[in-house]
Structure formats: C-alpha cells, structure tokens
Chains A and B, each alone.
Chain A
Amino acid sequence: MPEEGMEDSKGGEERPKWNNKAEYLLTCIGFAVGVGNVWRFPYLCQIYGGGAFLIPYLIALVFQGLPLLYLELAIGQRLRMGSIGVWNSISPYLGGVGVASMLVSFCVSLFYNTIVAWVLWYLFNSFQEPLPWSQCPLNHNNTGYVEECVESTPVNYFWYRQTLNITPNMETSGSLQWWMVVSLATAWSIVYICFVRGIETIGKAVYVTATFPYLVLTIFLVRALTLPGAYEGLIYLFTPDWEILKNPQVWLDAATQIFFSLSVAFGGLISFSSYNSQKNNCEKDAVLVGVINSATSIYASIPIFAILGFKAHTNYVTCLNGNILALTNEFDISDMNITVENYEQWFDSLNGTHPSRVSDLKLKTCDLQTFLDQSASGTGLAFIVFTEAVISMPGSQVWAVLFFIMLFSLGLSSMFGNLEGILTPLHDLKLVPKWMPNELFTAIICLLLFLMALIFCLGSGNYWLEIFNSYVGSVPFLIIAFFEIIAVAYIYGIGRFSDDLEFMTGHRPNIFWKVCWLVISPLMLFVVLVAYVAVQAQTPPTYAAWNPDYVNFPNTEVLPYPDWVFAICVLLSSVPVISIPLVAIYRLICCMSGRHSKDSLHNNPNPYANEDYVVELLL
C-alpha cells in the first residue's frame, strides 16, 4: 500500500476513537444483534425442522458470514474511513459500492426506526391495567363490543386498528396517525441523543442497549420454563426433521438469514472499525462478533418458544374448556366432573349414547399440534402472538414492559449502525460545511429521516414498510456484499490484503480465510443471490391486506400490488445498486478524457507541474 495514498488522519482534526475495546465490541455486537435474532430466527428454526436447521445455519456462518465480517472490519480498520472512502481507496471504479452502501443504509434507517417507534408505542401502552390489547372496547352506544374486534381477536384489533389504523388496501393512503407520529418523533429523538457526540455517546449508550437484551432473555427463560406447556413448545422447536435438509429452500434461507443477521454491507461495521487504532486484532473481533450473534439467536429462541408453547397450551385448554362447558350444560352433568384429563372418555361415552345431541353442539376439535403450528415471524410475532401470550401470564404488565424494552434496545443498537453508515461517509466525503458543528449536521440528518419516515405513519404505512423490508432490505445487500468481496479479493489483491492484515494483527491470515475470500464466499454469495432473485421472481407480487369488509375476515385478503407500487418496488431494489455501474462509468469517462481526476491517490505527482510555485513578476 503506497504511503502517499494512505490518509491516516484528517487534516487538522483527529479522527474520533473508541474509549476502550469493550465499547467497540459492544457496538458491533449491538449492531449485529437486532430484532431479527429474536423474531426471525426462531420462526425459521420452527418451520425448517427445528434442530436440523442449525446445520445449514452454522455452515453459512462459517463459510459466508465470518469471512465477510472479517473483511469489513479489516478494511475499515486499515483504511480508517467510512464506506465511500474505503471503496474509493481500493479502486476508484468501485467507489459506487460505498455510495450504494450509504443509500441502502439510508432506506433501511427509514423503516427500521419505524419498527422501533411501534415498539415504543406498545411499551408506552404496557403501563396500564388491564392491558389495552386484552379486551375489546365497547362500541358507540355501549350495547356491545366493537364488531371488528369481536370477529378477530382483541390483540389483532389493537394492532391493526388502534396502533396502525390500517387501510383496507394500498391505494387508500389514509391520513397521518398522530399517535404514530408522536412515537416516531420519540424514537428519532432517542437516536439523536445517543448520536449527539458521535461515538463518544454511542459508546456509553451501548453499555445498556447491548447488554440489557441478554438480561431480559434470561429472565424470560427462567419464567418461561416454569409455565405449563413450555416443554411442549421447546420439544416442538428443537425436534430435528432431517428430511428437511434435502429442500434447497432451507439452505437459501439459512444463508440469507446469516447474511442479514450480521448486518454486513451496511457500511456501519466499516465505520465502527475505522475508529480503531490500526494495531487491533480484528480477526478475533470478527470471530467473536459472528459467534455471539449466532449464539444470541439460538439463546433467544429458547424463551420465545417456551412462551409460544405456553400460549399454544393455553389456547388448547381454552378450546377444551369451551367444549366441556357445552357438554356439561347440555347433559346437566355435575360441575367440574368433566375435566381436561377425562374429557376424552366422557366425550366417547356421551357420543355413544346421544350422538345426535353431541353433534348438534358443534364442538370444536382441539389439537395441541394445530395450536403449536400457529407461529409467526416479524411484527406478527412480537405484536400479536407474544402480546397474546403475555396476557395469560400472571403479572402481565411486567412481562410486557420487559419484552418491549428488550425489543427497543435491540432496535436502537442496530439503528446506531444504520445511521453510522450514513453519517461517516458524508463526513469523509467532506460534504459537511466547515462552519457546521457535527451536532447540527446529525440533527439535520435525523430530522430529514424523520420527515421522510412519516410515510410509514399513514394508514397504509405498514404495507409500505413491508415493501421496503422485502425490496430494499434484501437483494441490494447481496449485490453490494458480492462486489465487496470481489473488490478486495481480486481487485485489491489477496496478497496486499494479507500484508495489511499482517500489519494489523501480527500474522498472515491462514489458508481457511484465503480460500473463503477467494472462492467459497463469492461463490456462495453468487448462488444465494441468483437463487433469491429466482424465488422472488416466481412469487407473485401480492400483499396481505387487513380488510374488515372482506368475506373471509378475519383472514387477511391477498391483493396484488398496483402497477405504480410495483414500479416503486423495482426502483427501490435497483436505484441503490445502480450507483455501482454509474460511478464506474463516470470514473472511466474521467480517466479516458485524460483530465486530473479528483482522486489524487493513484496519480503520480508530476515533478514539473509545480502548483505551489507562483511566479510573481516584479516589474
């Protein structure tokens, strides 16, 4: 690496640095460990055959996740710049990768903080007795409960009506929901206060936000294991179904899950490691962060599934009790003679003696397995399934508050990385005017993001969020990561990179890393990218709408995306990525026209063009 090309520190102003190693590690871990570890991984584990899913997951971690992580941390630490500066340094033609990273971080920050705002809303509402999602509200003239609530469930009603106030379809935008705007403002204010002094304040904040979730998960683990039905839930989760490994979809989902879970290609990790001193062992850091991230996913799935098992058990018992009551009332049997245990015998005997009366009762079939199968991921898990489980636990308010504070910490620490992926490149590009203090610049960016995110506070906001999540938060990352690894392994050169690593960590990377960077990881990424795009292309572009007037309400109505919405989806996927070829072409044109390119790194200074020497003709 030529000496002149390296910019160790900015002119005049020292680059900020971490107070200690722990802050740096906690920030990276907090960024990697997000809400997805809690609400995406357990769901995948469940639908893909429990314990068997761990095999493709861990393989993807070792061969794809860890090499990418090590790569990002290393180049950030060596080149000491944000994502744009780093990729400009490696090759000016690939500067677009940094721009793409920044744009994608921008889009993700928009919708991710809206999820944090939802969590805050639920948190604020958890300080009530009874919990607002435990019962239906009365209708206008107090004669009965609100119809929409009665037809679905109080939990669904609270989420879709009282939180989102969702419109029946995407064309109807609805109006701004003021309570959502208020929650969103709170979320952005909290993000801003943690960012006010850059990594100085972030470093303090992560002591809480990165460690608190573990504390809450442990508390939930202990509580959940004492609940009835917990063991059924855990057995259901972890029973391996080895046959599932033959399904390629499982491998695809494992690879994408590991990839999105580690938050590579955001540019945030590069920024965080750029504040390190160069002589830091980033290999150990990368392995540590990667392993802790996966371990957290596995650890989180235990209480989640214990609680889901409890919920299934509660639903099963409620279903059975309904049947028992019906039988007891119909046949005038003594109260509590039929219990959950002897229900089967009673049912058989009654059905044998009075089959017509029994069939007239229209008893429901209660099967624990069916209830266990009702799982969800994402916002459905947190705001519908889990809130329903919490109602049945004694001391609901405490558990609700703990759960939502945990989700809030997870989301906030991930937001640090998202926002860092926007701010650091802008600083490094020197786009910040000199007179503007950092605090003001951060405030302006946060305000801008808040105003743009108001679109998610409309009535149709949830539909838009799903679009952003599926189209921005998926394919662009895969493409960026693919270019990252190609850039470092082939354009920068594995030899030069190994030299840098030797300078930083004290030893050259071993054969495993080299093979991964050169062959395995790019190949895996490419295969995953192609397969993912192929699968997405095959699924029709539809969305699930909550429409109270739908015939099969409370089932969601499956509607196709309108054309203009689909155009926006395509734009969202392609615009961030289009900067990669655009910047390359721009640089090519500049280079071919022979002019001085702005990037002086690879220009040999002309010894005869002395710009410093001004001839003053003193006549």
Chain B
Amino acid sequence: MPSLTVPPGAPPILQSLTVPPGAPPILQSLAVTLERMLVRILVLLYLAGAPALAQTLCQPNASNGYRVRISIKTALGNQAYEWNENEMFLFRATMAFAMRRYYKTETYNVDNIIVCNQTRRVSFWFVVISPENPTMLIPKADVEKAVSMSRHRINNAFLLTDRTLEFLGIYPTLAEPVNPDTPPWLIVFGVVIGAVFAGIIALLVSSLLQKRRKEKGMMEDGQDEEDRQMKGVENGINLDGIYNRGFTDDDRFTKL
C-alpha cells in the first residue's frame, strides 16, 4: 500500500488523509493524486505566502527594523558601482555574517535578512528574522549591537564609510583619539630649546675666549698703551678732564 509521507509540519488535514487499508484501488490512487495536489498547493502557498508573511514583517518604520542609506557616488565618485540585486545579496549576506558573529552561531543565513522599500536614493528597510522561528524578529537592540560590532567589516565589504553607509539610528562609535605618550609639540619644543641653549652657550664661550685673547694681546703691548695715555688727548677723545683754556704755555714766566 503506497503511503504518502506527509511532511512533519503539514497541517492536520493532510495527516488525516491516510487511506484506510481496506479501500478499493481506485480510491487509493485518487487519494494519492489528491494528496499530491494538496501538498503541491500547500507548498506553492507556502512559497508564495512566506514572502507575503515576510513582507508583513518588514515594513517601513517597523519596530524592529532599521533603515539603511547608501551613498555610493559620494564615496567613490568615478569608481562608483551600480547598486543592483547582486549588491543587495551581498548586503544580506554581510548582515547574516554580522548576526553570526554576534551570536556566535552558524544558523543565520541570507534568507534571515529581509529587505523592503528600496528607493532610488539607495535606501531600504531591513529586518532580521530568527532562523528557528521565521515569524519572530530579532529585537532592535540586538541587531544594533551586531551591526556595531561588525561595522568596520560591513563598511569595507562595500568600500564605504560610516558616513556613506548609514544605519539610521545606529550611531558610529567615535574614533579613539590617538594619545601619544609625549605630546608631539613637546618634542619639537625640546629640539628647538636645546639648539637655542647650545647656541647661547657656544656664543658666550667664544666671546669669553675672544676677550681673554684680547687681554693677553693687550698685556704684551701694554707699554704702548701707557705711552699713548701719557701723550694725552691725541685723537680727540677726552679721556679725563676738561680742556683748560685758561692754561697757556707761559714758558717765559717763572715757574710756580
């Protein structure tokens, strides 16, 4: 007796379609075709209904969905690529990767990321459904954490940045400022002040040496110096005293 294997998740009506063993062969073959048709219809319905079901899950302003805005031309200019279905597929795959990374499981798949409301801008909404339960959406907070964790990888997959691949509502973490141990300006200052002080000391020392040499030179011809002073005001410099007009050269008179 051919027994149709009824899929385990099938509705009870199908399960009740098992033909009793004593039925005539015509009835049995009729039941078989009927079951096959039903299964196909159900499968078709399921396949058609799943997106419809998913569509109801993904809506603009959905409570657990995020809006994504992509500006490829702003980021890449001449080397911008076209946004098409393949890129969308990459996006969904990247999001699945992010979910896997966050939950540390391998159950997430491209099918778990549902996208809707795509515009020319390029912007769209997406939601993440749980792999175990297709009707259940992953809560917003978890999606945010997953995205934040893998933000760098997601950006790089599309050659974009935090500013050109925006998840509206998820703020990019601020870049850690580079804090070197010594502020760079202190290094420059140290170099400059070291050079200046070295220069000052060098100049002072050389001035000192020059003066010493001059003094030694002066001591050697110190005799000439004395003679010059004795001769008095030769070159117009008043070394000391005031020119005494009252003193005339009175050789004829008796000396005092």
Contact = CB atoms under 8 A, between A and B. Distances in A.
A125 B177 CA distance: 16
Contact of A196 (B174, B176, B207): B207
Given A334-B121, A335-B121, A439-B207, A605 B189 contact: no
B197 A335 contact: no
Given A11-B239, A329-B69, A335-B74, A189 B193 contact: yes
Interface in A123-141: 123-125, 127-128, 137-138
Given A329-B121, A612-B242, A335 B196 contact: no
Contacts of B70: 335
Contacts of B121: 328-329, 332-335
B236 interface: yes
Contacts, number: 107
Contact of A197 (B207, B239, B244, B246): B207
Interface string B191-220: 011001101100110010001000000000
Contact of B203 (A193, A437, A609): A193
B135 to A, nearest CB: 30
Nearest to B237: A11
Nearest to B166: A329
B189 A193 contact: no
A335 B200 contact: no
B244 to A, nearest CB: 5
Contacts of A120: 192
A613 B192 contact: no
Given A11-B238, A335-B74, A611-B242, A186 B185 contact: no
A329 B74 CA distance: 13
A609 B177 CA distance: 83
B74 A186 contact: no
B241 A612 contact: yes
Contact of B72 (A128, A144, A335): A335
Contacts of A182: 189
B2 interface: no
A329 B193 CA distance: 54
Given A197-B207, A439-B204, A612-B241, A607 B74 contact: no
B73 interface: yes
B246 A608 contact: yes
Interface string A577-599: 00000000000000000000000
A336 B246 CA distance: 102
Contacts of B72: 335
Contacts of A125: 184-185
A611 B218 CA distance: 31
Contacts of A608: 246
Interface string B222-256: 00000000000000111101111111000000000
Contacts of A192: 200
B104 interface: no
Interface in A161-204: 182-183, 185-186, 189-190, 192-193, 196-197, 201
Contact of A335 (B122, B242, B245): B122
A605 B243 contact: yes
Contact of A128 (B185, B197, B236): B185
B123 to A, nearest CB: 6
B199 A124 contact: no
Interface string A450-470: 000000000000000000000
A137 B177 contact: yes
A336 B73 contact: yes
A605 B247 CA distance: 13
Nearest to A612: B241
A146 to B, nearest CB: 11
A277 interface: no
A605 B174 contact: no
A121 interface: yes
Nearest to B239: A11
Contacts of A183: 189
A332 B120 contact: yes
A185 B243 CA distance: 50
A145 B246 CA distance: 88
B184 A127 contact: yes
A610 interface: yes
Given A9-B237, A142-B174, A193 B185 contact: no
Nearest to B245: A607
A189 B196 contact: yes
B205 to A, nearest CB: 11
B58 to A, nearest CB: 17
Nearest to B186: A124
A612 B197 CA distance: 50
Interface string B144-174: 0000000000000000000000000000001
A8 interface: yes
B48 interface: no
A204 to B, nearest CB: 11
Nearest to B236: A8
Contacts of B239: 11-12
A8 B242 CA distance: 17
B197 A189 contact: yes
Contacts of B27: none
A197 B238 CA distance: 27
Nearest to A191: B196
B188 interface: yes
A9 B204 CA distance: 26
Contacts of A8: 236
Given A8-B236, A607-B245, A610-B247, A332 B204 contact: no
Contacts of A193: 196, 199-200, 203
A295 B196 CA distance: 33
Nearest to B123: A332
A203 to B, nearest CB: 14
A124 B187 CA distance: 8
B196 A138 contact: no
Contacts of B73: 335-336
Contact of B189 (A186, A197, A336, A612): A186
Contact of B119 (A144, A197, A332): A332
Contacts of B200: 189, 192-193, 196
Contacts of A137: 177
Nearest to A189: B196
A300 B203 CA distance: 35
A145 B72 CA distance: 28
A128 B184 contact: yes
Given A334-B121, A439-B204, A605-B245, A127 B185 contact: yes
B71 interface: yes
A138 B174 contact: yes
Interface in B124-148: none
Contact of B247 (A11, A186, A328, A613): A613
Nearest 7 interchain pairs by C-beta? A336-B73, A124-B185, A607-B245, A332-B119, A332-B121, A607-B246, A124-B188
5 contacts: A127-B188, A186-B192, A189-B197, A329-B123, A335-B121
Interface of B: 69-74, 119-123, 174, 176-177, 184-189, 192-193, 196-197, 199-200, 203-204, 207, 211, 236-239, 241-247
